[in-house]
Amino acid sequence: MTDTSFLGPWIRRFLLEYLVDERNLARNTQASYRDALILLLPFVAESLGKQIDQLCIEHVSADIIRRFLLKLEQERGCCVSTRNQRLAAIHAMARFIGERSPEHIAWLTEIRSISFKKSSKPATMAYLDKPEMYALLDAHDRNTPQGLRDYTLLLFLYNSGARSSEAANLAIKDLDLGNSPSAKLVGKGGKERRCPLWPHTASNLVTLVVGRAPHEPVFLNRRRQPITRFGIRALVKRSAQNASRKLPSLRTKQISTHTIRHTTAVHLLRSGVDINTIRAWLGHVSIDTTHIYAEVDLEMKAKALAQCEIPAAALASVGHWTNNPELMVFLKSL
């Protein structure tokens, strides 16, 4: 057994050299690849009855990986896209090893032969109507510091359409709360964008950050630590449960931070904002990603259909063509 056959050193090089130094991938992408390996390695070790530090490259066989992917779907309840995401991380690691260790090219070929599973896109995209969004905002007591924080965070998500990670990483120095309030958001791939803020959003943010240092995060948890995207998701879920007591229609919807992001896009579209402006607002690279909001909005489809509808009076005035004498004369003259 040679040193190059041990899996541990390769994983270290993959995570630190390849993902960080060579590819300079975003931190969320690095975390996603790391999490895939955190799930995979204990599964392989348990399947073979070995310690994790004793694993070799050949132990991570194609058959074990297929069983691992099956476990993700059946036992952990992961969707197809999550399953494919984990497989992409495994493919990347195998390619990294195969390119630097020619004796493992055959192993690489076996791993890369595991194909991605085709996933169907959901027929509908969840979003909230304005009464539902207002009920979500009103689910908190703004007279308490915690309630004010929760309300301001939800209002900021609705105003900006920010992702949970973007809101969690928002620092006080990223806010411009002057005459034209705005917030600088850092999205996927480190792309920055400026999002305008409503005066009401800005005034609540001023109350939240007054007297604090510019480098501090805007949103803190109950322990006065920076809130994480998981904390934001828990807040949205808790808010939806409270709001559903007053508005039962919320019980039929799966509400997450991304639901609020979809809601922002749909409401902007209904207000007459063009699709390219919404693309920049949400930080989408391609307008094709944003165009889906125009397809899911039933209210706009109903308005478009109403404009094309033929009035009943017009239909009643149109008779059969054989009963039109002028038309019959014209046809006979041909």
CATH for 243: 1.10.443.10
Total residues found in the chain within this entry: 334
pLDDT band at 333; cut points 50, 70, 90: confident
Residue with tokens 């995570």: 15
- Spatial strand order of the sheet with 192-196 comes to 175-176, 182-186, 192-196
Average per-residue pLDDT for the chain? 87
Structural domain includes residue 311: no
**Does the structure show a pLDDT above 80 at 285?**
no
Secondary structure (3-state) at 220: strand
- Asked whether the beta carbons of 263 and 127 are under 8 A apart, the reply is yes
Q: What is the pLDDT of residue 330?
A: 75
Residues 92 and 142 occupy one common structural domain? no
Residues forming a β-bridge with 196: 182
What total of structural domains would you count in the chain?
2
Residues 248 and 138 occupy one common structural domain? yes
Q: Domain boundary residue among 78, 112, 146?
A: 112
**Does the structure show a pLDDT above 90 at 59?**
yes
Residues 183 and 150 occupy one common structural domain? yes
Residues 245 and 179 occupy one common structural domain? yes
Q: Considering the entire predicted model, what is its pTM?
A: 0.71
Structural domain includes residue 332: no
Residues 222 and 170 occupy one common structural domain? yes
Structural domain includes residue 125: no
Structural domain includes residue 124: no
pLDDT band at 320; cut points 50, 70, 90: low
**Does the structure show a pLDDT above 50 at 7?**
yes
Q: Up-side HSE of residue 5: CA atoms within 13 Å toward CB?
A: 6
Range of the domain at 23: 3-112
Closest CA to 9 of 68, 107, 97: 97
* pLDDT per residue as tens digits for the range 241-259: 999 999 998 988 889 999 9
How many other CB atoms are there within 10 angstroms of residue 293's CB atom? 23
Residues 177 and 105 occupy one common structural domain? no
Residues 157 and 299 occupy one common structural domain? yes
Structural domain includes residue 170: yes
pLDDT band at 1; cut points 50, 70, 90: very low
Structural domain includes residue 319: no
**Does the structure show a pLDDT above 90 at 279?**
no
Residues annotated as catalytic are 163, 188, 258, 261
pLDDT band at 55; cut points 50, 70, 90: very high
Structural domain includes residue 330: no
* pLDDT per residue as tens digits for the range 95-147: 999 999 999 999 999 999 999 998 776 556 788 989 999 999 999 999 999 99
- Asked whether the beta carbons of 134 and 228 are under 8 A apart, the reply is no
CATH for 33: 1.10.150
